[in-house]
Amino acid sequence: MPGYWVFVVKDHVFEGRTIPAVEVLANRVKNKFWSLNSRAPNVRNLSEGDHVLFYVTSVSGRGFMGKGVLAGPAHPITIEQRFHVIGVPSINFDYAVEFSEAEMWPRLVRLDEVRERLSILRGRRNPAAVFRGSIRRISREDYENVVSLAR
C-alpha cells in the first residue's frame, strides 16, 4: 500500500537573489527529482509508488501546487542531480528521490480552501505550522481531498 506525503518547498536564495518557491518547484517537476536532507524526518520511509503533494510556502502565498509519484526510495544525490540544484537551502541537501510522474498545477490550492477538508488541519489555530519542515505524512483521504480541489 502506498504512502501519502507532502513535500514542502520554500523560497530559495542564490547569489543574493530570491528564487520564488514556485520556480524551485517548476525546476523539480521538470527534472523529476526532489532534493532532500538525509537527516529529515521520514526520509527513510519514502518508497516506490508513494504519492506526494507539493506544498509551496512563499512570501506570495502558501498552498498545494502539484503532485507526483515516487519512482523509488531516497538515495544519495547524484552528480547530475546536484547540477540542477540551485540556491539555499537545497544546495546543502545530500539526498534525492525521483518521480515516475510529476505535475505542477496552474494554480495554488490555498490552505484556506482546504483547511476544513483535511483531517491533518482540523482544529489547528495555525494550519501553516503543520507544514514546517520538508516531508510530512498525510492520509490518503487528505491527499485525495487536495487533488479533487485542484481539478
Residue 1 has pLDDT above 90, yes or no: no
**pLDDT reported for residue 122:** 83
74: left (phi over 0), alpha (psi -120 to 50) or beta: beta
Whether residue 144 contacts residue 127, with contact meaning beta carbons closer than 8 Å, is answered with: no
HSE-CB at 23 with a 13 A cutoff on CA atoms is: 14
Domains of the chain with CATH codes: 4-150 (3.10.590.10)
**pLDDT reported for residue 116:** 87
**pLDDT reported for residue 132:** 81
- Measure the CA–CA gap between 91 and 44, rounded to whole angstroms: 20
**pLDDT reported for residue 126:** 83
- Measure the CA–CA gap between 84 and 33, rounded to whole angstroms: 10
Residue 106 has pLDDT above 80, yes or no: yes
**pLDDT reported for residue 21:** 95
Task: Name the average pLDDT for the chain.
Answer: 93
Residue 76 has pLDDT above 90, yes or no: yes
Whether residue 9 contacts residue 54, with contact meaning beta carbons closer than 8 Å, is answered with: yes
Mean pLDDT, range 61-76, rounded to an integer: 96
**What global pTM score does this model have?**
0.94
- Measure the CA–CA gap between 63 and 128, rounded to whole angstroms: 9
**pLDDT reported for residue 115:** 87
pLDDT band at 133 (very low <50, low <70, confident <90, very high): confident
